[in-house]
Structure 1
Amino acid sequence: MTAVSVALESASRRELQSLAKELQLCRGNAKSDVIITHAMKFLEDNPTDGEATVLAALGSSGNTTPVASPKANKVASRKEKQEKKVVDAVKVDAAKKSKSSSKQQPEDEPVVSVETNQKTPTKKVSNKKEAKQTPSPASIPKAAPSKKASDSNSKTSPAQVKTSAEKEPTPTKKPTTTDKNAAAAARKAVEALVKTKKDLSFVGETRVRCTTTGHEMKADLAIIKTYINGKRYLKARNSKISFASYAPMFVAHPDESKTDLLWCNVTETAIARDPESVKTHIAAPKYQRQLPLWKEQEAAKKKLEEEEAQRRAARIEAAKKRRLAAASEDGADAPEKKRPAKRAAVVKS
């Protein structure tokens, strides 16, 4: 075993990681076995100066001293800044208090002394992360205002009174009146929509009922519009609409299971059972082009049916006359048959 192999086997994981990064053998966080394998391959690829390069890299990594992580340094520096700010604030407050206490106070007022208790935040270090310390508000002393200063502050200047008097009072009832107007307008819109639909009616003050489907809903314009444009309502409404005025061009669909469709005899196509669909189909060029031909065919069929009915009636009338004539001839030639006498009823004694 060569000196390089011994050095690689005895090297720590940290040294192997730095070796992998320096020589770019593999990823720095790879396993130790993987790094050693790549190092041996590096030695095979560089037989002349490979051993010296590896030993130099291992030696340089072993001499380096551990450096603290930048994250810990940032946390420590941030805490030091916070502590410095707290101490500076306490010093400024103490200086202001000492300056105000040095001034002469009236004889009838007692001198108020302020004791400043300077507290430094304690550090609590956990095993994983350092907790951030913030100075508590109780640690910063507050100077008690003197009676004279409070009296002077409580008095309002004439300019302040004038500006406050010039301000107009803010309207407090405006939002409520606006809400009432909006509610009244929404109610009128709902009533107008209900009047346009024969199958909609109010149930109380806040509900609307659809007689076509039996559905009840809130008396809200958006809710009602969404419902009357839905598939369920349209299907139920169209199934109850009579299309007799469009007959015989439009009749019920031959397939009884398709209740939502109509059959057009002119174009021989199925369309939706809906007045708008029927009107659109009638206005189409195909329907207008085939309608005259269909009318001619229907007139010819009707004429043939009438002629057939007349011939059938004539045949029935001729057969009836023949039966009457045959009956009259048979009655004239045949002898009159005497009606048999009824048997005398036996009277029981």
Structure 2
Amino acid sequence: QVKCSLTGHEMPCRVEVVQTYLKGKKYLKASSKEQCDLLETHKAYLGPSHKNKQEHQLFCKLTCRHINNEPHHIKRHVEGRRFKRALVRWEECQLTGEKFKPVTLMNNRKRNKDSIGSDSSIGNKMDALGLDSDEEGMSDDSMTDLYPRW
């Protein structure tokens, strides 16, 4: 029996078996040094995920995305447009002392402002249709006090 020092896998002492194991997914994953290099350089932004179903993945703090913990997935994310833009923005915030807010969180907040409690959008749609807001049953009490503005 031969035992692999990286993974602890035991196999019969035959050339064919050892060669197939060396070409296998488990060994290649364990032997890749690229993953360690990428994680070390981007350790400040990439950390383990804390969600229940995604514990095996990494979480990017700049883009709020989950990434598989594999070298080619990490490399693809780090070289991507979204990460590069967020990194530039993060560096600017570090220089100015401003607190960094990920772009996705900022967009969600804007989206919520537009959708919740915006009676003006209803009025604009009615104006575009040529309807008067009083004719359609919109009274003085437009229930804006029930939906707070964000």
TM value normalised by structure 2: 0.46
**Which structure would you say has the larger RCO, counting Cα contacts within 8 Å and 6 or more residues apart?**
2
Determine which structure has the larger helix proportion and give its number. 1
